[in-house]
Amino acid sequence: MEKFLKTKSAAFVLPFVATVLLFVLWELAVIIFRIPPFNLPAPTNVLNALINFAPQLTVNALRTLWTTMLGFVIAVVVGVVLGFVIGYSKAAYLTLYPLLVAFNTIPKAALVPLLAIWFGANEIPATLTAFLLAFFPIAVNVALGLDTVEPEMKDVLTALGASQVETFQKVGWPHTLPYIFASLKIAASFAFIGTVISESVASNAGLGFLIVQATADFNVPLAFAALLILALMGVLLYCFFILVEKKVIYWAR
Amino acid sequence: MVQPRIDSMSIDSDIQGGEPLLEFDKVGLEYPFEGSMRRIIQEVSLSIQPGEFVSFVGPSGCGKTSILRMVSGLSPAPIGEIRYRGTPIKKPLRNTGIAFQNPVMLPWRNTIDNVMLPLEIVEPYKKDFRQRKGEYVRMAQDLLATVRLQDFQKQYPWQLSGGMRQRASLCRSLIHSPEILLLDEPFGALDAFTREEMWGMLQNLWMRVKCVGILITHDLREAVFLSDTVYVMGPRPSSIIYKVKIELPRPRTLEMELSDEFNHYFASIRQHIHHN
Cβ-based neighbour number of residue A47 at 10 Å: 16
- Out of A155, A252, A253, whose CB is closest to B98? A155
Note whether B100 contacts A252, CB cutoff 8 Å.
no
- Out of A153, A158, A249, whose CB is closest to B92? A158
What value does the mean pLDDT take over residues B236-256? Answer: 90
Note whether B108 contacts A251, CB cutoff 8 Å.
yes
Residue A42's SS3 state is: coil
CA torsion sign for B136, B137, B143, B146 is: negative
What value does the mean pLDDT take over residues B213-224? Answer: 93
The tally of CA atoms less than 13 A away on the side-chain side of residue B226 is 34
Which CA distances in Å does B99 have to B138, B152, B194?
22, 19, 17
- Phi, psi angle pair for B233, to nearest 5°: -100, 145
**Surface-to-core class of residue B79, CB atoms within 10 Å of its CB (0-12 exposed, 13-18 middle, 19+ buried):** middle
Nearest to B22 by CA among B179, B158, B252: B179
Note whether A160 contacts B104, CB cutoff 8 Å.
no
Indicate left, alpha or beta for A161 from its phi (over 0: left) and psi (-120 to 50: alpha): left
Nearest to B214 by CA among B43, B96, B73, B90: B96
What value does the mean pLDDT take over residues B191-214? Answer: 88
Task: Enumerate the residues of chain B whose CB falls inside 8 A of the CB of residue A166.
Answer: 121
Note whether A160 contacts B96, CB cutoff 8 Å.
yes
% of residues, chain B, pLDDT over 90: 44
* DSSP, residue by residue, chain B: -PPP--S---SS--TT-S--SEEEEEEEEEEEETTEEEEEEEEEEEEE-TT-EEEEE-STTSSHHHHHHHHHTSS--SEEEEEETTEE--S--SSEEEEESS----TTS-HHHHHTGGGGTSTTTGGGTTTTHHHHHHHHHHHHHHTT-GGGTT--GGGS-HHHHHHHHHHHHHTT--SEEEEESTTTTS-HHHHHHHHHHHHHHHHHH--EEEEE-S-HHHHHHH-SEEEEE-SSSEEEEEEEE----SS--GGGGGSHHHHHHHHHHHHHHHT-
Residues of B with CB under 8 A from a CB of A: 72-74, 92-94, 96, 98, 100, 102, 104, 106-108, 117-118, 120-122, 156, 158, 172-173, 176, 182
Closest-CA residue of A relative to B172 is A156
CA dihedral B226, B255, B241, B13 (to 10 degrees): -60
Note whether B100 contacts A152, CB cutoff 8 Å.
yes
Spell out the residues 6+ positions from residue A230 whose beta carbon is closer than 8 angstroms to its own.
A64, A192, A196, A207
Which CA distances in Å does A106 have to A99, A111, A120, A121, B210?
11, 8, 21, 21, 63
Quote the minimal CA–CA distance from B181 to chain A in Å: 11
Quote the minimal CA–CA distance from A180 to chain B in Å: 15
Note whether B98 contacts A170, CB cutoff 8 Å.
no
Give the pairing of strands B238-245 and B36-48.
Answer: parallel
- Out of A159, A249, A251, whose CB is closest to B96? A159
- Which of the following CATH numbers is that of domain B1-95+179-276: 3.40.50.2000, 3.40.50.300, 1.10.510.10, 3.40.50.2300? 3.40.50.300
What value does the mean pLDDT take over residues B78-84? Answer: 91
The pLDDT confidence band at residue B17, using thresholds 50, 70 and 90, is low
Contact A96, A158 (CB under 8 A): no
- pLDDT for residue A46: 92
The tens digit of pLDDT for each residue in A53-62 reads: 999 999 999 9
- pLDDT for residue B7: 43
Closest-CA residue of B relative to A158 is B92
Note whether B74 contacts A155, CB cutoff 8 Å.
yes
Closest-CA residue of A relative to B93 is A159
Task: Enumerate the residues of chain B whose CB falls inside 8 A of the CB of residue A153.
Answer: 104, 106
Domains of chain A, CATH where assigned: 43-248 (1.10.3720.10)
Which CA distances in Å does B92 have to A97, A156, B178?
32, 10, 13
The pLDDT confidence band at residue B8, using thresholds 50, 70 and 90, is very low
The ipTM of this complex is 0.80
Note whether B120 contacts A170, CB cutoff 8 Å.
yes
Mean of all residue pLDDT scores within chain A: 91
Note whether B102 contacts A170, CB cutoff 8 Å.
no
Task: Enumerate the residues of chain B whose CB falls inside 8 A of the CB of residue A170.
Answer: 106, 117, 120-121
Cα end-to-end distance, chain A, whole Å:
26
- Out of B100, B102, B118, whose CB is closest to A160? B118
List chain A pLDDT tens, one digit each, 253 residues: 778 888 878 888 898 899 999 999 999 999 999 998 888 999 999 999 999 999 999 999 999 999 999 999 999 999 999 999 998 888 999 999 899 899 889 988 889 999 999 998 888 999 999 999 999 999 999 999 988 888 888 888 988 888 888 888 899 999 999 999 989 989 999 999 999 999 998 888 999 999 999 999 999 999 999 999 999 998 898 889 889 988 888 887 6
Q: Is the pLDDT of residue B155 over 90?
A: yes
- pLDDT for residue A141: 92
Task: Enumerate the residues of chain B whose CB falls inside 8 A of the CB of residue A157.
Answer: 121
- pLDDT for residue B221: 92
- pLDDT for residue A227: 94
% of residues, chain B, pLDDT over 70: 93
Residue A138's SS3 state is: helix
What value does the mean pLDDT take over residues B48-74? Answer: 90
- Phi, psi angle pair for B183, to nearest 5°: -125, 115
Pairwise CA distance, residues B129 & B120, whole Å: 6
Note whether B92 contacts A159, CB cutoff 8 Å.
yes
- pLDDT for residue A18: 94
Pairwise CA distance, residues A231 & A182, whole Å: 20
- Out of B100, B106, B158, whose CB is closest to A171? B106
Pairwise CA distance, residues B176 & A174, whole Å: 23
Note whether A156 contacts B156, CB cutoff 8 Å.
no
Note whether B121 contacts A251, CB cutoff 8 Å.
no
Q: What angle do CA B24, B30, B32 make, to 5 degrees?
A: 160
Closest-CA residue of A relative to B169 is A156
Indicate left, alpha or beta for B80 from its phi (over 0: left) and psi (-120 to 50: alpha): left
Instruction: Give every strand in the sheet of B229-233, ordered side by side.
Output: B87-88, B79-84, B22-33, B36-48, B238-245, B229-233, B53-57, B212-216, B180-184, B96-100
Closest-CA residue of B relative to A253 is B158
Q: Is the pLDDT of residue B197 over 90?
A: no
The tens digit of pLDDT for each residue in A26-69 reads: 999 999 999 988 889 999 999 999 999 999 999 999 999 999 99
Residue A149's SS3 state is: coil
Task: Enumerate the residues of chain B whose CB falls inside 8 A of the CB of residue A174.
Answer: 106, 108
Mean of all residue pLDDT scores within chain B: 87
- pLDDT for residue B126: 81
Give the pairing of strands B180-184 and B36-48.
Answer: unpaired
Tell me, what DSSP letter sits at residue A204?
S
Pairwise CA distance, residues B180 & B166, whole Å: 18
Pairwise CA distance, residues A198 & B108, whole Å: 41
Work out how many CB contacts closer than 8 A connect A with B: 56
- pLDDT for residue B9: 42
What value does the mean pLDDT take over residues B184-195? Answer: 86
Tell me, what DSSP letter sits at residue A110?
G
Ordered by start, the domain boundaries in chain B are 1-95+179-276, 105-177
Quote the minimal CA–CA distance from A69 to chain B in Å: 30
Cα end-to-end distance, chain B, whole Å:
13
What value does the mean pLDDT take over residues B114-128? Answer: 88
What is the identity of the amino acid at B274? H
